Structure 1
């Protein structure tokens, strides 16, 4: 019996070490800047991006021909954050755009710039912390980025003037960011928020990926990763949840999601939508995967934007 007990203890020790090692690997792979790779994220999205490259390339080239400049702010915790500012028609309409996981502002909004800049909007494409030219090593998944976002809004108000009419537009992690921002006190110049394929929380999206793509249980890996994140940056994987933050929202929302999203399932936006306390509308694009809605149905997407902006801006 003693040998059996010792063997069982040894086995449990090996399993615990394996779980700890796996959790550490998950944490480093997904939440530390130097290990999070764009190629891996694009593959996990399940979208065939090759067919959209001609459109992306042409619109990005046109965008970069428009007057623009690099701009910088400092976060509340001392990080130097970068954005690319396009002056557009230099009127009082402006959009601040927040990109997805492992991307950057110029990458995610090269195509949508065709919509906003041709309608005279000032356009600010921010690099979220630990992305692009912004500082930081720990990826925030919206929890810290929401505070950075408010600072970018202040920057835009100062740039545009007190009569500014500002739209926040987020994609994927950037979408979770703008949803989480809605729970904060936003300046009155923020007139609306566009949320495209948002996730509810880090915990939910990590659980989904572990189950659906790696076919392994989330427990206890996420609990270990949660403790690591609390120790490193001061908050857990479920401390900030888009579906909870929008209960405090007062700014109107347009929610968009692809019905065939396998990376961030559509039920997450449905849950956020149900909880949202402010005026809201939604567009679910049939056949669209993660972040694909604009490309799958460009006309429908732009019509939804036209209708939404027409209601919230003069």
Structure 2
């Protein structure tokens, strides 16, 4: 009996060590800037971007021909963040665009720049903390980035004046960021609306989905261990901020967009967010669109939804 108990204890110890090692590996690959790779994210998302490259390159050339500059702000926890600022014709209408996981400001909104710039909007394209030219070691997954977003909102108001009308537009992690920003008590009145494309609800829920659907692994105890590590290293829990909970306290109208064929962030997360919105909200599901592909898959439907939504909130 003693031998059996000793063997069982040894086996349990080995399993515990193995789980902790797996969780630490998963955490490093996912949460640390140095190990989170764009190529891996694109592969997991499964979107074929090559088919859109001619259009993207054409719009990028037009976009970069417009006046723009690099700008910076410092976060409440002392990081220096970078953004690219396109002032627009009169500084009265600005859209702040928040990119997805492992991307950067000047990557995700090349296509949509054509829509916003030709309608007279200025654009501010921040690099999220631990991305692009912004400082940071640990990725914020919206939970920390919502406060950085507030900083950029205040930067725009100071730059353009109190009369400025601001839209927030985010995709994937950026979509989660703008939804999590929607409930902040300090949200200025200049923010008129939020557009969220393919947002997840929380880091915990999207990681659980990825572990189940792509790696065929159980989430327990890997997520719980990663949660403890992240609280210690990055200062927030993986379900501390959840977009579906935050929109219950939202202060401005919301447009939710999602791809019907998104396997990376499932459409069910969009449904959950929509059901919890405490403000007027609109939902657009683009049939056949993979992750972050909705604009390119059906540009007409996407821009029509933007026209309708923005037309009711921005003068």
TM over 0.5: yes
The alpha-carbon deviation at position 65 of structure 1 amounts to 1.1
Bigger mean CA deviation after superposition, 54-63 or 38-47: 54-63
Residue of structure 2 equivalent to 1:227: 228
1:49: how far off? Answer: 1.3
Residues in 1 aligned to 2:154 and 2:284: alpha-carbon distance in whole angstroms: 29
Q: CA deviation at 1:6?
A: 1.8
Whole-Å separation in 1 of the counterparts to 2:134 and 2:60: 21
Q: CA deviation at 1:92?
A: 0.4
Aligned-partner SS, 1:244: helix
The match for 1:141 is 141
CA positional deviation for 1:184: 0.2
Does the 8 Å contact 1:91/1:120 carry over to 2?
Answer: no
Return the alpha-carbon distance in structure 2 between the equivalents of residues 24 and 203 of structure 1: 15
- Give the TM-score taking structure 2 as reference length: 0.98
Aligned mates of 1:73, 1:30 — CA distance in 2: 25
Deviations 1:197-240 (A, max 9, x none): 01000110000000000000000000000000111122211100
Q: Secondary structure at the match of 2:94?
A: strand
Which residue is equivalent to 1:305? 306
Are 1:12 and 2:12 an aligned pair?
A: yes
Other-structure match for 2:39: 39
- What's the CA shift string for 1:113-144, capped at 9, x where partnerless? 01111111010000010000000000000001
1:53: how far off?
A: 1.1
Partner of 2:176 in structure 1?
A: 176
**Matching of residues 159-308 of structure 1 within 5 Å:** 159-185=159-185, 186-308=187-309
SS of aligned partner of 2:73: strand
The 1-side partners of 2:234 and 2:212 are apart by 26
Q: Distance in 2 between matches of 1:84 and 1:90?
A: 17
Supply the distance in 2 between the matched residues of 1:141 and 1:234 (Cα, whole angstroms).
12
What residue is the counterpart of 1:79 in the other structure? 79
Structure 1 segments of 4+ aligned residues over 3 angstroms from their partners: none
Name the structure 1 match of 2:59.
Answer: 59
* Structure 1 residue 4 displacement after superposition: 2.0
- Secondary structure in structure 1 of the residue aligned to 2:34: helix
Q: Which deviates the most, 176-185 or 87-96? A: 87-96
Aligned counterpart, 2:98: 98
Alignment partner, residue 150 of structure 1: 150
Given that 1:89 and 1:117 are in contact with CA atoms closer than 8 Å, whether structure 2 keeps it comes out as no
Q: Tell me the CA shift for residue 146 of structure 1.
A: 0.2
Shift of 1:59: 0.9
1:10, distance to aligned residue in structure 2 (A): 1.5
Match of 2:48 in 1: 48
- Give the superposition deviation at 1:170: 0.3
Q: CA deviation at 1:7?
A: 1.8
The TM-score, its normalising length taken from structure 1, stands at 0.99
Tell me how far apart the structure 2 counterparts of residues 6 and 57 of structure 1 sit (CA, whole Å): 64
Deviates more, 1:254-263 or 1:227-236: 227-236
Partner Cα separation in structure 2 for residue 89 and residue 136 of structure 1 = 33
The match for 1:115 is 115
Distance between the aligned counterparts of 2:236 and 2:162, measured in 1? 34
Question: Any idea what the Cα deviations from partners look like across 1:43-87, whole Å, max 9, x if unmatched?
Answer: 011111111111111111211111100000000000000000001
